[in-house]
Structure 1
Amino acid sequence: MIAFLVLIGSVAVYGKHGHNHSCIHTNHDHLLSSQVVSNVIADIDKDGDGIVEPTEVQHFVAGYDLDKNGNITESEFTLQWHRHYLDVRDFVGYLFQNFDMNNDMRLTDSDLVAWSKNLDTDGNGEISIAEFRTYMMNLYTNCVTAHAN
């Protein structure tokens, strides 16, 4: 019974899918979470208009589909994010779990649609850089607070 409670507790704290990814941010270049998020924003908002457009997200995400089969596995995502932003792989697994909106262990267009709806907090049909930054900073910092106790 105790082992079961420990398992349930670890899934609740460390994420979906039964993986024990760490949600405590660590970066190999010692970049702060705000610096990584700024780098991600610069890579996504190519036209600099302050809006994260669906085509920009699709272009950004396409670089993660290494085998070009139309979906991104956790290993593909983790490898590419780690290479580019230098966040430790365990933390990147935590990010992947939060981007995988339907919990099927792959990122597809349906995840992007659901993700976009969640990020559009003002309901205007667009994701502003401010909305995107808030979402990403919450991912990077909220778990650390939860683990500080």
Structure 2
Amino acid sequence: MIAFLVLIGSVAVYGKHYSCIHTNHDQLLPSQVVSNVIADIDKDGDGIVEPTEVQAEFVARYDVDKNGSITEDEFVTQWHRHYLDVRNFVGYLFHNFDVNNDMSLTDSDLVALSKNLDTDGNGEISIAEFRTYMVNLYTNCVTAHGN
């Protein structure tokens, strides 16, 4: 009994468990969720995921307190509410987006992530590059930033 209580206490103190196994409350496939994310970000429909579009989406949807930094709780709550992915999976997404591992999403994370996503090095993130990255997160359990 004591060992069980110590184990439970350790989990509470040392953090949450995140799962890279995708589950969605509406039974949407990863490709469907990624398509929805792309539709939300690429507002002008030009096929380019522009940093200003990503920043606008993140600020509008996820930075609930409008302080310029998105906490894990803000991100998980809003992503879950909008895309209906289970919370453990959304925590996994957050930690992949948090490039500098400071437990918040800021402009510096978006800049670093943009560099990782621009696989052809042309200075722009195409929808295809963005889709490939996101589908990898959803289906291949990418556990490190851009790897």
Match for residue 25 of structure 1?
22
> 1:1-149 residue pairs with structure 2 within 5 A?
19-62=16-59, 63-143=61-141
Letter in 2 for 1:73: T
Letter in 1 for 2:32: Q
Letter in 1 for 2:39: A
Letter in 1 for 2:116: N
- Once residues 19 and 104 of structure 1 are traced to their aligned partners in structure 2, the CA distance between those partners, rounded to angstroms, is 16
| CA drift at 1:100 | 0.1
| CA drift at 1:20 | 1.8
Identity of aligned residues (%): 83
TM-score for the superposition, normalised by structure 1: 0.83
- Once residues 24 and 78 of structure 1 are traced to their aligned partners in structure 2, the CA distance between those partners, rounded to angstroms, is 15
Letter in 1 for 2:132: T
Contiguous gaps of at least 5 residues in structure 2: 1-13, 143-147
- Once residues 98 and 18 of structure 1 are traced to their aligned partners in structure 2, the CA distance between those partners, rounded to angstroms, is 16
TM-score for the superposition, normalised by structure 2: 0.84
| CA drift at 1:18 | 5.7
- Once residues 131 and 98 of structure 2 are traced to their aligned partners in structure 1, the CA distance between those partners, rounded to angstroms, is 18
- Once residues 109 and 16 of structure 2 are traced to their aligned partners in structure 1, the CA distance between those partners, rounded to angstroms, is 19
- Once residues 29 and 36 of structure 1 are traced to their aligned partners in structure 2, the CA distance between those partners, rounded to angstroms, is 10
- Once residues 127 and 61 of structure 1 are traced to their aligned partners in structure 2, the CA distance between those partners, rounded to angstroms, is 16
Which runs of structure 1 show a deviation greater than 6 angstroms over 4 or more consecutive aligned residues? none
Q: Alignment RMSD, CA only?
A: 1.3
Q: 1:94 to 1:124 in 2, by over 3 A?
A: same
- Once residues 61 and 119 of structure 1 are traced to their aligned partners in structure 2, the CA distance between those partners, rounded to angstroms, is 17
| CA drift at 1:95 | 0.1
What is the total number of aligned residue pairs between the two structures? 128
Q: Aligned to 1:70, what secondary structure does the other structure show?
A: coil
